[in-house]
Amino acid sequence: MMLSLPSKYRKPLIQSQRKPLIGLLIMTAMLSAGCNNNQEQSANDAATSNIAQSDSTAINAPVDSKSDATIVSALQSNLKASGIDETITSAVPTAMPGIYWVSADGLPSFFTDAEGKHIIQGQIIQVGDGEPIDISAKLIAQSAKEKLAAVDEKDMVIFPAKGQTKGVVYAFTDADCGYCRKLHQDIDETNNLGIEVRYLAWPRSEETFPKMEAIWCSEDRQSALTAAKAGANITAANCPNPVQSEWQLGMSLGVRGTPAIFDQNGQQIGGYLPPEQMAAALGIS
Name 186's Cβ contacts closer than 8 Å, sequence gap at least 6. Answer: 274, 275
Q: Give the pairing type, strands 167-173 and 195-201.
A: parallel
8 Å CB contact between 152 and 237? no
* Rg value, the chain, Cα: 19
Q: Is residue 63 part of a domain?
A: yes
Average pLDDT, the chain: 82
Q: Which of 104, 124, 148 is the last residue of a domain?
A: 148
Q: Is residue 187 part of a domain?
A: yes
CA distance 284 to 277: 10
Helix ranges (H only) for the chain are 13-16, 45-48, 69-81, 137-149, 178-185, 187-192, 208-216, 221-229, 243-252, 275-281
For residue 12, the Cα-to-chain-centroid distance in whole angstroms is 26
Domain count within the chain: 2
Name 139's Cβ contacts closer than 8 Å, sequence gap at least 6. Answer: 63, 92, 94, 101, 109
- Which band of pLDDT confidence, cut at 50, 70 and 90, is reported for residue 95? confident
- Which band of pLDDT confidence, cut at 50, 70 and 90, is reported for residue 55? very low
Name 244's Cβ contacts closer than 8 Å, sequence gap at least 6. Answer: 5, 9
Q: Say whether 211 sits in a helix, a strand or coil.
A: helix
My answer on whether 53 and 162 are in the same domain is no
My answer on whether 222 and 266 are in the same domain is yes
**Catalytic residue list:** 174, 177, 180, 204
Q: Convert the pLDDT of each residue in 179-234 to its tens digit.
A: 999 999 999 999 999 999 999 999 999 989 999 999 999 999 999 999 999 999 99
